Structure 1
Amino acid sequence: MVRFLHVADVHLGYNKYRQDNPSRMLDFFRAFDSALETYAIQAQVDFVLIAGDLFEERMITPGILNQAEYVLDKVRSAGIPVLAIEGNHDNCPYGVKSNWLRYLCEKDYLYLLEPDETGTLQPWDPETARGGYVDLPCGVRVIGSQWYGASAPRAIQQLARQIQALPPAAGATILLFHHGLEGQVCRYQGALRYNELLPLRQAGVDYLALGHIHRHYAVEDWIFNPGSIEANSIQENQQQNPRGVLLVNLDQGPPQAELKRDYWQRPIHRYTLTLTPSDTVSDVESQLQQLVQRHRSDMAEAIVEVTLKGEVGFERGELSVRSLQGQLQEAAAAFIFRLGFAATAVAYQTYRDGTAASPPRAQIEEQVFTDLLASVAEYRDRAQPLAKALMRMKEDLLQPNANIPDLYQWLASLSLESEGWEDQGRRG
Structure 2
Amino acid sequence: MLTLTHIADTHLGHRQYGVKQREDDMVSTLRTALDKMLTEQDTDAIFLPGDLFHSRDLRPKILHQTEQELAQVPDDVPVLVSRGNHDENLTPRDVTWLNYLHQRGHIVFLQAELTADPETAWFNPYEPDNPGQSAGFYDINVENLDGPIRVFGLQWRGAKTGQALQQVADGIRETNEMHGQPAFTVLLAHFGMEDEVPTLGGTVTHAELRDVKEQVDYLALGHIHKRYEAADWIYNPGSPEAHNTREGRDDWEHGYYSIRLDTDISVAGSAAVEFDVAHHPTKRRPYYRVEFDVTPHESPGELETAFKEHVQDEQAAMMEYCSQERFTANGEPRSPIIDLRFTGTLQFSRGDFRTDELSEWLEEAWDALYVQVNMGIRTANIQQLLSEIDEEDVFKDGKLNTAVLEDRVFETIAKESMYAEHASDVADVLGSAHQMAQAEEAVEDIQESISSARRDLFPDLADGVVLNVDEDPFVDDEVDGEGPGESADNESPVEADETVGVSE
TM-score range, shorter chain: 0.7 to 0.9
Q: Are 2:302 and 1:283 aligned? A: yes
Corresponding residue to 2:94 among 88, 94, 97: 97
Residue 419 of structure 2: aligned partner: none
Once the two structures are TM-superposed, the CA of residue 94 in structure 1 deviates from its matched residue by 5.4
Q: Work out the percentage of aligned pairs sharing the same amino acid.
A: 31
TM-score normalised over the length of structure 1? 0.76
Corresponding residue to 2:260 among 249, 257, 260: 249
Residue 52 of structure 2: aligned partner: 54
Amino acid across the alignment from 1:318: D
Amino acid across the alignment from 1:280: S
Distance 2:202 2:389 in 1: 48
Once the two structures are TM-superposed, the CA of residue 41 in structure 1 deviates from its matched residue by 3.9
Residue 222 of structure 1: aligned partner: 233
Map 1:7-46; keep pairs closer than 5 Å. 7-18=7-18, 21-46=19-44
Distance 2:89 2:99 in 1: 9
Q: Which has the larger radius of gyration?
A: 1
Distance 1:350 1:91 in 2: 51
Distance 2:56 2:344 in 1: 43
After superposition, the C-alpha distances for 1:220-259 in whole angstroms (9 at most, x for unaligned) are 1001111111111121114132121112222366542222
> Runs of at least 4 residues of structure 1 off by over 6 A?
none
Residue 120 of structure 1: aligned partner: 122
For the residue of structure 2 that corresponds to 1:236, the secondary structure is: coil
Residue 154 of structure 2: aligned partner: 145
Contact 1:274 1:310 in 2 (8 A): yes
Contact 2:224 2:238 in 1 (8 A): yes
Contact 2:3 2:45 in 1 (8 A): yes
Change (3 A) 1:327 1:278: closer
Once the two structures are TM-superposed, the CA of residue 126 in structure 1 deviates from its matched residue by 1.7
Corresponding residue to 1:179 among 191, 205, 208: 191
Map 1:279-428; keep pairs closer than 5 Å. 279-296=298-315, 298=318, 301-346=335-380, 347-348=383-384
Give aligned pairs, total: 347
Distance 1:326 1:245 in 2: 35
For the residue of structure 1 that corresponds to 2:72, the secondary structure is: helix
Change (3 A) 1:87 1:351: closer
Change (3 A) 1:133 1:290: same
For the residue of structure 1 that corresponds to 2:301, the secondary structure is: helix
Distance 1:259 1:81 in 2: 20
Change (3 A) 1:227 1:350: closer
Residue 409 of structure 2: aligned partner: none
After superposition, the C-alpha distances for 1:35-81 in whole angstroms (9 at most, x for unaligned) are 1111234421111000001001111111010121111111135x321
Distance 1:80 1:351 in 2: 67
Distance 2:310 2:242 in 1: 24
Change (3 A) 1:319 1:95: closer
Once the two structures are TM-superposed, the CA of residue 350 in structure 1 deviates from its matched residue by 7.2
Change (3 A) 1:288 1:122: same
Residue 158 of structure 1: aligned partner: 167
Amino acid across the alignment from 1:72: L
Residue 136 of structure 2: aligned partner: 132
Change (3 A) 1:40 1:351: closer
Contact 2:112 2:168 in 1 (8 A): no
After superposition, the C-alpha distances for 1:175-200 in whole angstroms (9 at most, x for unaligned) are 00111111111221211111001210
For the residue of structure 2 that corresponds to 1:17, the secondary structure is: helix
RMSD: 2.2
For the residue of structure 2 that corresponds to 1:164, the secondary structure is: helix
- Deviates most, 204-213 or 118-127: 118-127
Change (3 A) 1:34 1:291: farther
Higher normalized contact order (CA 8 Å, seq sep 6+, divided by chain length): 2
Once the two structures are TM-superposed, the CA of residue 287 in structure 1 deviates from its matched residue by 2.8
Change (3 A) 1:96 1:183: same
For the residue of structure 2 that corresponds to 1:213, the secondary structure is: coil
Change (3 A) 1:114 1:339: closer
For the residue of structure 2 that corresponds to 1:166, the secondary structure is: helix
Once the two structures are TM-superposed, the CA of residue 343 in structure 1 deviates from its matched residue by 1.8
For the residue of structure 2 that corresponds to 1:184, the secondary structure is: coil
Gaps of 5+ in 1: 353-428
- Deviates most, 159-168 or 110-119: 110-119
Distance 1:247 1:107 in 2: 26
For the residue of structure 2 that corresponds to 1:35, the secondary structure is: helix
Contact 1:140 1:169 in 2 (8 A): no
Contact 1:5 1:40 in 2 (8 A): no
For the residue of structure 1 that corresponds to 2:246, the secondary structure is: helix
TM-score normalised over the length of structure 2? 0.65
After superposition, the C-alpha distances for 1:348-381 in whole angstroms (9 at most, x for unaligned) are 46799xxxxxxxxxxxxxxxxxxxxxxxxxxxxx
Once the two structures are TM-superposed, the CA of residue 24 in structure 1 deviates from its matched residue by 1.5
Change (3 A) 1:328 1:134: same
Corresponding residue to 2:291 among 265, 272, 277: 272
